[in-house]
Amino acid sequence: MFNYVAIIVISELDEIYYKQINSQLKEEFEHREMEVPIRNISNIDIKQGIHWVDSLMLMMVDVIYLIYDIGYFHFMPYFIFIILGSWK
């Protein structure tokens, strides 16, 4: 119970802090609907103009992340029930 109360309090403090920030960067962040693009120091989109091997690696990372996301966040409760049900 205390963990949930702590999460709510931290969330409220985060909201108060976020509302206090007055910055052009915050306005741009909100204007882009809180999307954080991957950019290098030259402010050029990384996925443009890279070698095909690097592009393939980025796609593989995306696929691995998707598999992790589906397995961990969606199926983990079922895995836990299966493991606990078969554990005697």
- Cα 66 from Cα 64, distance rounded (Å): 5
| Res 43 pLDDT > 70 | no
pLDDT tens per residue across span 6-39? 888 888 888 888 888 777 767 777 777 766 664 5
| Res 59 pLDDT > 80 | yes
Half-sphere exposure of 8 (CA within 13 A, CB side): 5
